[in-house]
Amino acid sequence: MIYSNFFKRPVLFLLLLFIISSCVSRKEMVYFQDIEQLRKSENRRSGNNLEIQPDDVLTIRVSAPEQEAALPFNLTKSITSQERIMGEVELETYLVSNEGTIEFPVIGTIEVKGLTNIELAKKIQDKIRSYVKDPIVNVRILNFQISVLGEVNNPGTFSIEDDHITLSKALSMAGDLTIFGKRNNILVMGEDGDHKTYAYLDLTNANVVNSPHYNLRQNDVIYVEPRGTRRQSAGSTGLASTYLSIVSVLASLVILITK
């Protein structure tokens, strides 16, 4: 009986130590803590089209029934003789300046910051009508990217070819959430002018599609936080050596007590 009581106390103590050591706190696992220091934005425009910002890279193609009249507005890169034979012509790109402008052929400086690609196309059409009859302008933003982090199957940074992308599509590109991802607390961080903003979205609520953050913007970051079970799992895996040590101690105690 004495041996039994003597044995139980250290065993219970070690088991308690085992349980505590196997848990990993939220502070050790979760990204972007204290994000409340940033401005929480609920007023971001909810339209689908991407707004052009400084440092964006654009391609602008002008066409018309009389294509020769449109040629001065299509800057092309130097091409080799072989490319010339194949008819392959690559357009020069336009880098949006810090002031939000580009230098366009014939016209000169154009303010583009805050415009969508459709709005910029219409603006250029209006400016070149005196040079080109019935012009058609196509604008593309080449460096539209979003990043997905956390509990998804394929985290990373993705280039978007369209002029808009939704949160659901971004998560599907990242392979969807793992079973450990919090579905009711998806963090979306972005930019609003010179300010960094954030919002938490609940994928379990169908009303999420009405959020102004559901349609993503250039350089938005989506973070899926792990649930508590994931943190516990990480703790169990990371502390395997601790477990082995505890088992070794328990085995030694059993040998000493039963002698």
pTM over 0.95: no
Q: What are phi and psi of 91, to 5 degrees?
A: -75, 145
pLDDT tens readout for residues 194-243: 678 889 999 999 999 999 889 998 889 999 999 876 555 555 444 455 55
Pick the CATH number of 57-141 from 3.40.1050.10, 3.40.50.11030, 3.40.50.1100, 3.30.1950.10: 3.30.1950.10
- Please state, in angstroms and rounded to a whole number, the distance separating the CA atoms of residues 58 and 248: 64
Q: Out of 9-18, 58-67, 210-219, 234-243, give the one with best mean pLDDT.
A: 58-67
- Please state, in angstroms and rounded to a whole number, the distance separating the CA atoms of residues 215 and 203: 13
In this predicted structure, which of 87-96, 108-117, 222-231, 242-251 has the lowest mean pLDDT?
242-251
Q: Where are the domains of the chain?
A: 27-47+144-228, 57-141
Coil/strand/helix, residue 101: strand
pLDDT tens readout for residues 113-146: 989 999 999 999 999 999 999 999 999 999 899 9
Q: Which CATH class is domain 27-47+144-228?
A: alpha beta
